[in-house]
Amino acid sequence: MIRATALGVAATAVAGWAGPALLRARVLRAAVCPELAGIGRPGSVALTFDDGPDPEGTPAVLDALDRLGWTATFFMLGAQVNRYPEVAAAVVAAGHEAAVHGFSHRNHLARGPADVHRDVARAVAMVRAATGARPTWFRPPYGVLTLGSLSAARRAGLRPVLWTAWGRDWEPRSPAQVADTVCGQLRPGGTVLLHDSDCVARMAGSWQTTVQALPRLAELADQLGCTVGPLRDHLCQ
């Protein structure tokens, strides 16, 4: 009896810890937590990039955004910032927004609360030191939130935000396929997830496809009648 009770308590604790991970389901989070999903001003689309900074991918993305006249939010990995602080600084110097993706790209479901807290705090410190900017937003690796993720973000003064549309641009895909995937999910007021680094991608140089897909996404934004910008403009009005 005691063993069964202990197992029940443990199962409840695990379910509570992992419960927020259910919000990785795009349709569910859009329905129950629209701000977490990145749903903001109906006349805008937020553009976000994960996994940088990258010495090749990030400058190429910055150049493409400059040609389009867009600014975006970059969810940076602290480990990448540590390797390429000058690239992280260039993102903010170009008028874009730095955000936190954690220090290492490890699923929070496989990590304890103290480990997650250290990881997030370390990433925040790295981003601030490299860019001179205080980050506002947090997105966990793989978009998987736990109670530890939420607690760590709150302690660091960060607001968690995921996405409503992604391009699956870390996979072997053409620019048209990336754009078509976004097109099938994106609505006015949504948030797009792309990547400016291939550091955890399934295909080396995947950022090249992302860069080539951006003009196609500009056509989509025009069709939706939406401006494109960073989360600070999209969710903070």
Identify the residue whose tokens are 């308590």. 9
Burial class (CB in 10 A: 0-12, 13-18, 19+), 180: middle
In sequence order, the 6+-apart residues with CB closer than 8 A to the CB of 95 are 71
Q: Active site residue: 54, 195, 196, 234, which one? A: 195
113 phi and psi angles, rounded to 5 deg: -60, -40
Asked whether the beta carbons of 46 and 235 are under 8 A apart, the reply is yes
In sequence order, the 6+-apart residues with CB closer than 8 A to the CB of 134 are 128, 157
Q: Active site residue: 50, 119, 169, 196, which one? A: 50
50 given a catalytic annotation: yes
108 given a catalytic annotation: no
- Active-site residues: which are they? 50, 195
